[in-house]
Amino acid sequence: MKAKAAQPVGMSSGDMQSLGEGLGDALRTFKQAVSDVRNSVDPELRTIQAEMDSAQKEFQQSIEAAKELPALHEEPPKQT
């Protein structure tokens, strides 16, 4: 006995087209939402990155300046 190919029940070609259009619309809406979020978040991320880079540079300069300072040597207490 041969198995029949499964056919969707109650789905006409018009239903399939409508479903495809709906999925296409949903995908376009999702892509636009992602783009909107990215456009609002990216400038903030760039600002944060610039601030972090500036703080790191300042920190490195402080370390270099500290290396250039003469070492402080404490003299041992004199015994009398």
What does pTM read for this prediction?
Answer: 0.48
- SS3 track for the chain: CCCCCCCCCCCCHHHHHHHHHHHHHHHHHHHHHHHHHHHHHHHHHHHHHHHHHHHHHHHHHHHHHHHHCCCCCCCCCCCC
Condensed to tens digits (0 to 9), the pLDDT of residues 8-63 reads 567 888 899 999 999 999 999 999 999 999 999 999 999 999 999 999 999 999 99
Q: List the chain domain ranges.
A: 30-67
